[in-house]
Structure formats: structure tokens, C-alpha cells
Structure 1
Amino acid sequence: MTAPTRRSQTARIERRMGDWMRARLPHGLAEFVMFVLKQGWACLFAIMMLVGILVSSRIWQGDWPVWRYDALTLYAIGLQVLFLTLKLETWAEARVILLFHLTGTAMEIFKVNAGSWSYPEPALLKLWGVPMFSGFMYASVGSYMARVIRIFDMKFAPYPPFWTTVVLAVAIYVNFFAHHFLPDIRLALFAATLVLFARTRVWFTIGQTPRWMPLPLAAFLTAIFLWVAENVGTNTGTWIYAGQTPFERVSFAKMGSWYLLLYVSFVTVTLVLRDVLLRAPFTPARASAAAAEGSPPAARG
């Protein structure tokens, strides 16, 4: 089944669900419910990873023949295979998600050995103190971004020159390592995200209704949910930050770290999804036409 066919089938299912809810709920509430359902469908991989962490933390016994971290690694691999088999992700998206896994694991190895956080449980599938499932936590962010762009038929406009976004992403990623030895420039990086993306709107459709949100606001809201997920990880003892006691809330500063890391994630995804980046402003009329046709307008950045 081709990608356009899958999108058209998905659009028909969503339209039927939307029609069913609009017939029974006020219009605004129906649109909100559809938005939440589509967001949940987009972050399915991340949800399943959190379910695995929560369930395993409750049931795992120390005398079982497989360590919990190793079981989570096998579980994550199984999820990825299942997503590709059921065509919930394309192979192009999977290649980007693999890049997330590699860059995320590299940062995990550095941060764990720098003492920023630790994984206290034993495991066979562990590299320099980092269990292999941790890379899939970063991959779940990439999976969400690739899927949410496709599910909501997102466009980003007006988008800054692509090379400037790559420079910003590289600077953010490097600073996660360099601030251990050099002055931390994250305040300048926060400012850079606003300067570069202040005018960029995230256009998305719910049913046939085009809507938009400033890109920095979308990144901030997503960072809040990732911070909540971080608390799930630490409250289950799956990983612990330096100086953190059991059940202690993760510092709000980590929300800022996720906000910056999301730009690295977003730029990584756009390496293969360049057609969603529009240099010119995207008007509601063009958004409606694109939603009706199921394809982006011809003029792209």
C-alpha cells in the first residue's frame, strides 16, 4: 500500500470519526477530542515505551532470568519491528529514528559517565553504564515528530533558511556536551530559537479545519509532556538524576533542556521531510486547499 493510499484511508477514517462526534458533541468539543485522539495516535510509540517502563517496574522480580533493562530493550526492538510491519512508520521515518537512537545513545553515554544521571539496575545489554533501551526513548521522540507531521498534514511557514536551522541544531547538541567544560550558552540558544522561529507557524488540520500555532509555543508545550514522562522514569527508578531522591520531582530546568533538544529532533526529522517547510507564509485559504487535496501547495522552500 502506497503512502498516499494510507493517508487517504486514514483521512476517511478520521472524517467518519469527526462526523460521528460532531453529530453528538458541540463543534468545539468535537474538534478538541479529535485533536487529542490524533495526538495520542502520533505518540503511540512513546506511550507504549512508558507503559513498558511502568508495568515492568511493578512486576519485575530480581530472581527472574532476564534483567528488566534487557527486557525493555527487547520490548523496544519488538515495538519498532511491529511499527514497520504494520506500516505505522515508513522506512524513511525509520532511518531518521535510527539517527535519533544513535545520537541519543551517544549523549546518554557521555552524560551518565559525567555523573548527570544514572541507571541503577544491572543489565547485560549495557554500554558504559547505559542500557540499550535508553536510545529508544529518544527514538520515540523522533517517531512522534515524524508521525504527528504526517497525521496532521503539518506545514511550517514561513520557515527560515534551512542551513540556519541545521547550525542551531548542531550548536544545541554540542552545548549538551561542551557545557561540562566551557560556559553554558543555553540562554543564547533559547534566544536563538525565538529569533529564528518567531514568525514560523505550525499549520495543521483537524478534519477540514486549518489551524496554526507558533512553533516555539508548540515546542514548549511538547517539552512539558516530555518533562512529565521524565517523572515517570525517575519515579519508577528506571533512571535517577544526580542528587535526586526517590519520588522527588524532576527539576523544572530539565523542561528547558527538552525544549532545546526538541529543536535538534525537529531539524533531524526535516532532513527527510523537507516538503513540509515553506519559505512563504501559509494562508488559511492555501491551508484549506491543501487539506482538501491531501497534498501541499507547489511553492515550497
Structure 2
Amino acid sequence: MQNFAIQLIRFGWNQALSCLFAVVIFASMALTHFVDIPLIPRYDFLLLVCVLMQWILIRTKLETIDELKVIIVFHLIGLALELYKVHIGSWSYPAEGWLKIGGVPIYSGFMYASVASYVCQAWRRFKLTISGWPPPLVSIALSAAIYLNFFTNHYIYDFRYLLMLALLPVFGRAVVRFTVGARTYAMPMIVSYLLIGFFIWIAENISTYFKVWKYPNQEVAWHVVHWGKIGSWFLLIIISVIIVVELKRLKETLSGTKRSDVIS
């Protein structure tokens, strides 16, 4: 029982460090919800906090330059999705901001980037290895199909459930192994996607409660975000993990090294 408690503490501590970027963002959301920041609009203050936090993570070497590259890629992907979703009215950013594009504050991309930051840091801290990972062509095609469906589902059939079914043959045999202390544990890759998606959904509820953005049904009063959004985050985390894995593979290819113990 004592060993279990020690392992749980170690696991929680490494998770907390991996979530550091996201924790700072949520703390800033809470602060600006209860306190009016002078001289600068709320969204621009949040952007300033995100940029400063990113600088601190790099300066303290809590994040590497390679991880920063992944984070930038995901920031741009997330910002593009935000521009589209806000344009069609899926949600809105009601507060004022100097740095807004099409009604979308620039800082919003950092919310997606914080997910990529978590994946990168958790990968390093837990010494992740993945077996049964699909070929690059398959994983990249699935990632592209998931991302495209976020745009097309308003005009044609929503393929999200078919894409979820496609995960079974693609990732059904994939297993992620993570190390806590001296012990290594294993988990089906699909289960890890679902768990992360669930916790992001909880974070989304916190964000909307602090009125950082609103869904149409939250205009008058706050309501819990529909549970169906767990599926959206489930799919989005798959994109982020695929980006991380395939960029690692690309780096290995360009450097002429192959670490089959990490991805196989």
C-alpha cells in the first residue's frame, strides 16, 4: 500500500509538471475573471501571460527547442480551427481585445498549444514508448481526415463516429508504456486518448465558467459543456499525438538514427 501511495505521488507530480503551461493559463483565466486588469484588455493580458510562460519554460529548459517547434505547429492548427468555428457561430469570445482576428483572440491558439506542451513533456518525463504504432501514411491520413472533418461536418455528413471506428484497426494494437520511478506500466493507446480527452473536457468546462469563451447555450447562464464534446477532444488529442510522433520520426530520418525502442 505504501509503494502504491509513493507511485501515485510520483505520477501526480510528473503530471503536474507536464501540465504546467495549462495550469498557468487556467490560473490566469481565473484571475482575470475575478479581477479587472488595468490598462490592458483581458485577452491581451492572457496572451502576454502565455508568451511569458513559454519564454520561461524555454529559459529554464523545462521545454526544449524541438518541443517548442511542435507547440508552434499546434498553435497554428488550433488558431485556424478557432477562426473557422467562431466564424460559423459554434462559440464566441465576448470580451474585448486588441489582438483579435475575425473575433478570435490570438492567445486562443495557446490553449491548443498547451495540449501539445503536455504531450511533449509527458513523453519525456514518463519515458514513453509506443509499440504497434501504424505506418506514417496511415497515421497522417487519419490525422488529416479528423482535422478536415472539424471543418466539413457543418456542410456534409459528420464522419466523427466513423473516424472513431477507424481507430480500432489503426490503433487497436498500439500500446503506450510509461515509467514511474523504477516501474513501467502499459496502457492501450486508445484508452490514453480517451482519458486525456475527458480531462480536457473538464478543463473546457472551467474555461467557459470563467467566461473566456461561450457556447450559444451559455449566453444567458453557464451550463455544463455537452458531454459529446469529449469525443471532439478525444479526436483532437489523437491529432496532437500523431503530430508529435511523426515529427519524432522525421527527426530520426533526417538525422539518420532510428530509435525503434521509442516507436515501433
When the two structures are superposed, what TM-score results if normalisation uses the length of structure 2?
0.93
Q: CA deviation at 1:276?
A: 11
Q: CA deviation at 1:43?
A: 1.0
Of residues 19, 23, 34, the one that matches 1:47 is 23
Q: CA deviation at 1:39?
A: 0.8
Of residues 3, 10, 16, the one that matches 1:34 is 10
What does 1:1-150 align with in structure 2 at a 5 Å threshold? 26-60=2-36, 64-150=38-124
1:272 aligns with 2:255: no
What does 1:77-226 align with in structure 2 at a 5 Å threshold? 77-226=51-200
Are residues 168 and 87 of structure 1, via their aligned partners in 2, closer, same or farther at CA, if it must alter by over 3 Å? Answer: same
SS, match of residue 205 in structure 1: strand
1:233 aligns with 2:207: yes
- Unpaired runs of at least 5, structure 1: 1-24, 278-295
Are residues 139 and 149 of structure 1, via their aligned partners in 2, closer, same or farther at CA, if it must alter by over 3 Å? Answer: same
Aligned residues: 257
Q: CA deviation at 1:243?
A: 2.1
| Cα distance in structure 2, aligned partners of 1:27 and 1:212 | 18
- For residues 192-237 of structure 1, what are the alpha-carbon distances to aligned partners after superposition, in whole Å with 9 as ceiling and x for unaligned? 1222111111101111111111111111111111011101111011
| Cα distance in structure 1, aligned partners of 2:144 and 2:201 | 22
| Cα distance in structure 2, aligned partners of 1:73 and 1:94 | 16
Query: Is this contact kept in 1: 2:130–2:263, CA < 8 A?
Result: no
Query: Is this contact kept in 2: 1:200–1:214, CA < 8 A?
Result: yes
Structure having the higher Rg: 1
| Cα distance in structure 2, aligned partners of 1:90 and 1:222 | 22
When the two structures are superposed, what TM-score results if normalisation uses the length of structure 1?
0.82
Look up the equivalent residue of 2:229 and give its one-letter code: K
Of residues 204, 212, 232, the one that matches 1:257 is 232
SS, match of residue 187 in structure 2: strand
Q: Percent identity, please.
A: 36
- Unpaired runs of at least 5, structure 2: 253-258
| Cα distance in structure 1, aligned partners of 2:250 and 2:178 | 14
Query: Is this contact kept in 2: 1:92–1:272, CA < 8 A?
Result: no
| Cα distance in structure 2, aligned partners of 1:130 and 1:249 | 22
| Cα distance in structure 1, aligned partners of 2:51 and 2:25 | 11
| Cα distance in structure 1, aligned partners of 2:16 and 2:249 | 24
| Cα distance in structure 2, aligned partners of 1:276 and 1:217 | 27
| Cα distance in structure 1, aligned partners of 2:129 and 2:110 | 26
SS, match of residue 252 in structure 1: coil
Look up the equivalent residue of 2:181 and give its one-letter code: G
SS, match of residue 88 in structure 1: coil
Look up the equivalent residue of 2:157 and give its one-letter code: P
Q: CA deviation at 1:273?
A: 2.2
Q: CA deviation at 1:298?
A: 5.8
SS, match of residue 273 in structure 1: helix
| Cα distance in structure 2, aligned partners of 1:271 and 1:89 | 19
- For residues 82-134 of structure 1, what are the alpha-carbon distances to aligned partners after superposition, in whole Å with 9 as ceiling and x for unaligned? 11111111111101100011010000000001100000001101000000110
Query: Is this contact kept in 2: 1:113–1:128, CA < 8 A?
Result: yes
